[in-house]
Each structure stands twice: as structure tokens, then as C-alpha cells.
Amino acid sequence: MTSKNNKTNLDSLQETAKISFSEGRFKDTLATLQELLDVLAEQQPTNFTLRGRILSNMGIVQVQEKHFHNAIDSFQAALEMSELTDDLLGKAQQWGNIGSAHRDLKEYDEAINNYENALHLYEKIGHDIGAADQFTNIAYAYAMNLQIDEAVKMYHKAAVIYEEIKDEEKSTMARKNIAALEKRS
């Protein structure tokens, strides 16, 4: 197979996965993503960036299917690909994804640990929206753990950043969450 045919096959599989996902055919999406990983391993074994994206997408689909442990495994594998390429943004995104899967499993302490890893990286690279979103994620996990004071502090940090970057919708939501939590305490 020529290089052009290889790219066409990869592109075709990616498009098939997008379509099946958009149609809610998650089992088909996972099968296509797995096939995509297999083809990639054969044709471009060192393309860790694309491999990481595929693994992350698999995790997202697994979350949709409520297969949270499988999703964590996929996000962990995607994290490893980001580490191989020293992609700090990719690493931050995967830590956040892992945290969200733990949150969905109601493993709030583990979620917080992973969100904090993501937060540290977002702050390191100056990615304000990513940092603010992680403060929000941490706040939610604290609230679910009934650590209301900690949740309020984290929502406040998120709100300040959202205001600085002029994201009124998220700032308003954080402020509403703060008000609701303060009523509970």
C-alpha cells in the first residue's frame, strides 16, 4: 500500500468513527477506533500524537457507554502517549478526563487528585480556561463529598478566572453554585 493510500485509509476510518459517534452508535465507534489503532500501529508505529487522540476518543465513547473503568484505562494510555511527546496540554486534558471518570464512579477523592494534576499542568502552561475548569471540577467533587467550605473556595477561584477571561456564562454558573452551597452550610 502506498503512503497516500495509508493516509486515505486512516482518514476514512476517522471519518467513519466520527459518523458512528454522531449517530450514537457507540459500539461501532469503539470497533472503528480499535481498527484505527491497529492500522496506525502497522503503518505509523511512532505516531504517538494520533495514537493518544484515538485512545482519548475511545475513553470518551466508553464514558458514554458508562464503562468508566475502561475509559480510565484508555485515558491512562492516552496520557502515556502525551508523556512520550512531552505534550503538557495533552497530559492536562487526560488527567482531567481521568478525574471525570472517577467522579462518574463517585470516587471523589481520586477525582480530586487527578483534577489537581490537571490543574497544575494548566497553570504551568498558562491555560486559564483549563485551570478554571479544573477548579470547577474540584469544587464539584468537594461538594459531592460534603466538603462545602472547600467547594466554595474552589468555585470562587474558578469564578475569578472566568471573570478575568470574560466568560460570563461560566462565571455566573460558578457564582450560582457558591450561593447554593452557602445556603446549605
Residues of the chain with pLDDT under 50: 1
Nearest in space to 70 (alpha carbons), one of 83, 82, 60: 60
The reported pLDDT for the residue numbered 136 is 98
The reported pLDDT for the residue numbered 6 is 58
Chain center to CA of 59: 9
pTM of the full structure: 0.91
- Contact of 59 with 19, CB cutoff 8 Å: no
The reported pLDDT for the residue numbered 42 is 93
Q: What CATH class has 127-185?
A: mainly alpha
H helices present in the chain, as ranges: 3-22, 26-43, 48-64, 68-84, 88-104, 108-125, 128-144, 148-164, 168-184
The reported pLDDT for the residue numbered 184 is 83
Instruction: Tell me the CATH number for domain 1-107.
Output: 1.25.40.10
From-to residues of CATH 1.25.40.10 in the chain? 1-107
| CA–CA separation, 174 and 104 (whole Å) | 20
The phi, psi pair for 73, rounded to 5°, reads -60, -40
Say how many C-beta atoms besides its own lie within 10 A of residue 104's C-beta.
14
The reported pLDDT for the residue numbered 89 is 98
Per residue in 115-162, pLDDT (tens digit) is: 999 999 999 999 999 999 999 999 999 999 999 999 999 999 999 999
The reported pLDDT for the residue numbered 115 is 98
Q: Measured between alpha carbons, how far is residue 47 from residues 52, 81, 176 in Å?
A: 9, 9, 44
